[in-house]
């Protein structure tokens, strides 16, 4: 369901969707937006959910532009998840900065769980977004049988921790990633 964020501003968009989570039979509400008001609302819900949690962990992933000669990677999309609440915030298309987003990411009381954060850190810095508590789960979890010196990919971690369904998703994920980097 697409919702116009502001009737007088054609550049803002918000779409709310319910995503089937494959084999778990749990519907996942997702908000896709570039509207700072909707982003603030979604983050407020996440903060309320986190207030009830002992471990205040946010699933966090970034998409960013590809570094080209003379340019540095910058954040295009931020994806955040707390429990069953997901926000896909189109940061690069926002019509104005979302102060709550930058405060949220920089809040020392929350842990932002990510995979392979090296380029994410660069993109955050290049975009002027301060952060405090990014946790690379590749350093926290090791899949039995994998090489000691190699890091497990997000797909391998998802397959081992969540569901074997994710095993075959690597190829489609790589195709999508190339599309993001071309932006």
Does 177 fall in a domain? no
> What pLDDT does residue 5 have?
46
Does 130 fall in a domain? yes
- Total number of domains constituting the chain: 1
- Kindly give the interhelix angle for 170-181 and 154-161, rounded to the nearest 10 degrees: 140
pTM: 0.76
Does 131 fall in a domain? yes
Q: What is the C-alpha end-to-end distance of the chain, expressed in Å?
A: 25
Does 167 fall in a domain? no
DSSP 4: -
CATH number at residue 42: 3.30.420.10
> What pLDDT does residue 155 have?
65
> What pLDDT does residue 70 have?
79
86, containing H or E segment: strand 85-89
> What pLDDT does residue 71 have?
85
> What pLDDT does residue 4 have?
46
Residues 112/22/84/177 CA torsion (nearest 10 deg): 40
Residue numbers of the domain that contains 119:
2-140
> What pLDDT does residue 115 have?
86
Among 62, 5, 65, 58, smallest CA distance to 31 is for: 5
Does 133 fall in a domain? yes
Does 9 fall in a domain? yes
> What pLDDT does residue 11 have?
84
Does 109 fall in a domain? yes
134, containing H or E segment: strand 134-136
Does 32 fall in a domain? yes
In order along its 183 residues, the chain shows pLDDT tens digits of 444 444 445 688 999 888 776 656 677 789 999 999 999 999 999 999 999 999 999 999 999 998 777 789 999 999 999 988 999 999 999 989 999 999 999 999 999 999 888 899 999 999 999 999 999 887 776 666 666 656 656 666 666 666 666 566 655 555 555 554 454
Q: Quick check: 87 and 101 in contact, CB under 8 A?
A: no
């Amino acid at each position: 369901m697409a919702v116009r964020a502001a009737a007088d501003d054609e550049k803002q968009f918000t779409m709310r969707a319910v995503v089937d989570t494959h084999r778990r039979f749990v519907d996942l509400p997702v908000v896709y937006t570039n509207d700072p008001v909707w982003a603030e609302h979604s983050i407020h819900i996440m903060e309320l959910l986190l207030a009830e949690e002992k471990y205040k962990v946010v699933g966090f992933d970034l998409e960013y532009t590809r570094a080209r000669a003379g340019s540095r990677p910058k954040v295009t999309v931020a994806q955040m998840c707390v429990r069953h609440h997901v926000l896909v915030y189109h940061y690069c298309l926002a019509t104005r900065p979302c102060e709550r987003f930058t405060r949220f990411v920089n809040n020392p009381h929350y842990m932002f769980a990510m995979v392979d954060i090296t380029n994410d850190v660069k993109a955050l810095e290049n975009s002027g977004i301060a952060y405090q508590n990014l946790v690379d789960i590749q350093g926290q979890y090791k899949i039995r049988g994998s090489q000691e010196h190699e890091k497990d990919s997000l797909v391998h971690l998802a397959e081992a921790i969540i569901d074997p369904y994710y095993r075959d998703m690597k190829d489609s994920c790589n195709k999508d990633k190339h599309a993001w980097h071309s932006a």
